[in-house]
């Protein structure tokens, strides 16, 4: 294990000894990547009935589930001590809960089964962005992190080659981490309908809330109220409405954008029919 990886796992190790005293998550924000999960999570933890974990993205059900034999104790160690999360019998008393947001859960082939095995009754929140914009934002993030050296057009052309066989390797080996599947899934990561249908094989519709990023950014109060109703929490007015993790880069070229619009058009049509949404992305 390298130093960087050890530092990343250290918080869980430090709190592991008292993990039986920790709360278990009541909800997960499962994705999608580059769709506003950070902003949504920051708004959620402003609520007085929600206790935040040590870190927003724990990555247990994707990267660390089988690695290093960490187990559910390591995962639980990331959450608040249970004394703060007791559910009161008195209806006038507030109910406390905790959760986390790891946007790669939604796209990971083992995500839904692992979550189902650990928390069959957990509530799941997914937030979806126009996949054209999501793909470009994902690419820009990969460039910023030093993972991507190709132009966007070149990266799109090589995506199928880069991802070839990676999902099969992940399904055959719980410990296998696919760098390419995580960082180069610009197109495939935006085919949401496939991902949601797979999650619905493990969780009923009632346990999943699907949101649109555009609604979060342009009608935050309505979306926030919808989420609180889903979590069965009292209404609350957000104090800070700053958008988080916003990228700053030049716009996509119109011809390339038009190409992506055509690519995603049939997938988006299936998605909107599946979710019974009444309007598609522009």
Question: What residue spans define the domains of the chain?
Answer: 10-237+255-275
Angle at alpha carbon of residue 118, lines to 116 and 119, rounded to 5° = 65
Report the CATH superfamily, name and number, of domain 10-237+255-275: P-loop containing nucleotide triphosphate hydrolases (3.40.50.300)
Q: At what angle do helices 254-275 and 131-144 cross, to 10 degrees?
A: 120
- Per-residue pLDDT reduced to its tens digit, 57-66: 999 999 888 7
pLDDT of residue 191: 98
> In sequence order, what are the residues at sequence separation of 6 or more whose Cβ sits closer than 8 angstroms to the Cβ of residue 24?
76, 79, 98, 119
Cα gap 202→120, rounded to integer Å: 9
pLDDT tens-digit profile of 56-102?
Answer: 899 999 988 876 677 888 898 889 887 654 444 445 444 789 999 99
What pTM was estimated for this model as a whole?
Answer: 0.90
Residues 6+ apart with CB under 8 A from 137: 34, 129, 247
**Cβ-contact 274, 192 below 8 angstroms:** no
């Amino acid at each position: 294990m390298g130093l960087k990886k050890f530092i990343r796992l250290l918080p869980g190790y430090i709190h592991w000894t008292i993990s039986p005293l920790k709360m278990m998550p009541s909800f997960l924000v499962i994705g999608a990547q580059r769709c506003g999960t950070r902003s949504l999570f920051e708004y959620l933890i402003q609520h007085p009935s929600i206790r935040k974990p040590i870190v927003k993205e724990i990555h247990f059900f994707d990267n660390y589930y089988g690695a290093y034999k960490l187990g559910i104790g390591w995962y639980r160690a990331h959450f608040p001590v249970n004394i703060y999360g007791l559910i009161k019998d008195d209806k006038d008393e507030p109910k406390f809960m905790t959760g986390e947001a790891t946007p790669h859960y939604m796209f990971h082939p083992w995500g839904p089964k692992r979550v189902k095995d650990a928390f069959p009754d957990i509530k799941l929140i997914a937030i979806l962005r126009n996949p054209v914009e999501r793909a470009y934002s994902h690419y820009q993030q990969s460039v910023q992190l030093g993972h991507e050296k190709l132009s966007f057009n070149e990266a799109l052309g090589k995506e199928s080659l880069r991802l070839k066989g990676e999902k099969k390797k992940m399904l055959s080996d719980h410990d296998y981490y696919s760098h390419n599947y995580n960082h180069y899934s610009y197109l495939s990561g935006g085919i949401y309908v496939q991902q949601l249908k797979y999650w619905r094989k493990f969780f009923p519709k009632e346990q999943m809330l699907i949101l649109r990023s555009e609604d979060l950014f342009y009608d935050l109060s309505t979306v926030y109220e919808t989420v609180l109703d889903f979590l069965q929490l009292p209404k609350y007015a957000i104090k800070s409405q700053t958008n988080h993790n916003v990228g700053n880069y030049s716009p996509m070229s119109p011809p390339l954008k038009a190409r992506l619009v055509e690519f995603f058009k049939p997938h988006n049509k299936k998605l909107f029919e599946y979710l019974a949404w009444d309007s598609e992305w522009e």
